[in-house]
């Protein structure tokens, strides 16, 4: 089976690696962008790390291992948490190139050309004039996906988070700071040789230049060493499913399929997208190995999709005034709540069992969570 994979980010490269490794198809990976820095925090949770190919001794995963995380309420409270197992943070320029090397080593063909046109008959055209026909075209081409726009239409604005930031020299404690009134958060993610500084909020909540203005003010006030008035900030969207299962059921057709951001599969609460990019690639690779492309959407829904739909339903409650502040206050007093937060950071705690675990860990907090009586 001839498979064109459009885009060599985490989703495309992992899919190509899996298809080539398993001998399920001969994948051609189209992407002209490398080397490049994709706007991203670059945080890889444990569950994401577990999906990556093993690192050869001569080519270790180019990340910084981080074993502590600070949460700040935005009202002055904060809690520092050691992580029982480290998370990894890397520059996407390096991490994505590392994963692309694994795909090529396994036998995938990398064509460094941008795709400009695809159609329902499997035809693909590139900016360099190449024309080729494939049995299947996979859109792994990120938030602005050409493949998605061709077969399905762009992700609706209500399902987009806007994220903006810059890269600052130096180092910092890994920090997540909630921003009152924003339904989003600010992050400081230490990478091997610099810090990713960023902020995110629903696209429709405020104009991007205001979001960047909020970030500049907060960093200048609270983390002046990372402030840089001259830094050219980036801004990029993160697409997620809605609360409707159809928003996941739509991600494949007769000769096409979408993975990662092209399929709009990031977590609507946290913006975590790398895990879902990798996981959707695994689910699609398994379906293709079994000759069951048509079952990919339902398998994606069963494997990780319900978790994302739950997150979409929880979004408003999580960012309701007072909730995150209360959570951090409780965490500073309760080891059980700190453990829940730690597992959320590590990716070990899903949203499905969250309420049950909170009830066991801290009944008063869970009661307030259930009745939304936070102030
Ligand atoms: C500011 C910001 C911070 C984030 N922080 C985190 C984080 O810390 N942790 C986390 O898990 N997630 C984070 N995310 C989300 C994460 O970046 C994405 O979910 C993830 O990159 C999706 O991977 P992907 O492979 O689907 O797409 P992408 O990483 O976007 O890769 C798509 C690739 O396709 C290529 N491409 C696009 N169009 C074409 C074309 N026409 N032809 C050929 N190639 C094409 C692009 O050049 C790119 O290489 C963040 C997102 C943003 C915007």
pLDDT in tens, 62-92: 999 999 999 999 999 999 999 999 999 999 9
- Sign for the CA dihedral angle at 272, 276, 278, 279 comes to positive
pLDDT confidence of 348, banded at 50, 70, 90? confident
Tell me the backbone φ, ψ of residue 167, rounded to 5 degrees. -110, 125
β-pair partners for 188:
175, 197
Ligand 1 probe mutation, 112, 132, 238, 241, most atoms within 8 A of CB: 238
Report which of 136, 137, 62, 65 is spatially closest to residue 101, judged by C-alpha positions: 62
- 33 pocket-lining for ligand 1 (C-beta < 6 Å): yes
User: What's the rounded Cα separation, in Å, for the pair 358 and 365?
Assistant: 7
- 184 pocket-lining for ligand 1 (C-beta < 6 Å): no
For residue 127, what pLDDT is reported? 98
Question: In a 3-state reduction of DSSP, which class is residue 308?
Answer: helix
- 260 pocket-lining for ligand 1 (C-beta < 6 Å): yes
- 266 pocket-lining for ligand 1 (C-beta < 6 Å): yes
pLDDT confidence of 26, banded at 50, 70, 90? confident
In angstroms, what is the span from residue 159 Cα to ligand 1's centroid?
16
What topology is assigned to 2-42+90-155+242-313 in CATH?
Answer: FAD/NAD(P)-binding domain (3.50.50)
β-pair partners for 138:
5, 257
In angstroms, what is the span from residue 322 Cα to ligand 1's centroid?
31
Cβ contacts of 245 within 8 Å, gap of 6 or more: 301, 305, 309
What topology is assigned to 157-239 in CATH?
Answer: D-Amino Acid Oxidase; Chain A, domain 2 (3.30.9)
Tell me the backbone φ, ψ of residue 29, rounded to 5 degrees. -105, 115
Residue ranges of the domains in the chain?
Answer: 2-42+90-155+242-313, 157-239, 315-371
Question: What is the number of the ligand 1 atom nearest to the C-alpha of 163?
Answer: 1
Beta strand residue intervals within 173-275, DSSP E: 175-178, 185-190, 195-202, 234-239, 256-258
pLDDT confidence of 135, banded at 50, 70, 90? very high
Question: What is the number of the ligand 1 atom nearest to the C-alpha of 234?
Answer: 1
* Mean local confidence (pLDDT), 324-349: 87
Tokens of 10: 């985490």
- 198 pocket-lining for ligand 1 (C-beta < 6 Å): yes
For residue 22, what pLDDT is reported? 95
Give the least confident one: 88-102, 313-327, 349-363: 349-363
Does the pLDDT of residue 363 top 80, yes or no? no
């Amino acid at each position: 089976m001839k498979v064109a994979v459009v885009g060599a980010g985490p989703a495309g490269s992992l899919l190509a690696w899996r298809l080539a490794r398993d001998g399920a198809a001969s994948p051609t990976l189209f992407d002209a962008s490398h080397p490049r820095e994709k706007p991203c925090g670059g945080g890889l949770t444990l569950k994401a790390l577990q999906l990556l190919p093993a690192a050869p001794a001569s080519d270790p995963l180019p990340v910084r291992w981080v074993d502590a995380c600070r949460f700040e309420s935005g009202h002055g409270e904060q809690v520092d948490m050691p992580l029982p197992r480290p998370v990894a943070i890397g520059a996407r320029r390096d991490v994505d190139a590392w994963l692309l090397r694994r795909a090529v080593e396994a036998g995938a063909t990398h064509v460094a050309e941008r795709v400009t046109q695809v159609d329902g008959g499997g035809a693909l055209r590139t900016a360099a004039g190449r024309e080729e026909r494939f049995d299947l075209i996979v859109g792994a081409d990120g938030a602005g996906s050409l493949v998605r726009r061709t077969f399905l239409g762009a992700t609706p604005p209500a399902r987009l988070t806007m994220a903006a930031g810059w890269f600052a020299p130096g180092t910092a404690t890994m920090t997540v700071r909630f921003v009152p009134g924003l339904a989003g958060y600010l992050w400081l993610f230490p990478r091997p040789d610099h810090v990713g500084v960023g902020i995110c909020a629903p696209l429709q909540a405020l104009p991007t230049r205001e979001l960047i203005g909020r970030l500049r003010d907060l960093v200048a006030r609270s983390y002046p060493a990372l402030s840089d008035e001259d830094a050219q900030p980036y801004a990029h969207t993160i697409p997620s499913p809605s609360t409707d299962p159809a928003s996941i059921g739509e991600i494949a057709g007769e000769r096409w399929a979408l993975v990662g951001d092209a399929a709009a599969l990031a977590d609507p609460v946290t913006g975590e997208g790398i895990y879902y990019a990798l996981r959707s690639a695994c689910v699609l690779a398994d379906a293709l190995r079994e000759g069951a492309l048509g079952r990919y959407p339902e398998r994606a829904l069963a494997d990780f999709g319900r978790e994302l739909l739950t997150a979409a339903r929880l979004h408003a409650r999580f960012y309701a005034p007072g909730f995150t502040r209360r959570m951090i206050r409780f965490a500073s007093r309760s080891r059980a709540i700190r453990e829940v937060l730690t597992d959320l950071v590590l990716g070990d705690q899903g949203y499905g069992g969250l309420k049950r675990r909170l009830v066991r860990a801290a009944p008063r907090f869970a009661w307030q969570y259930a009745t939304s009586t936070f102030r």
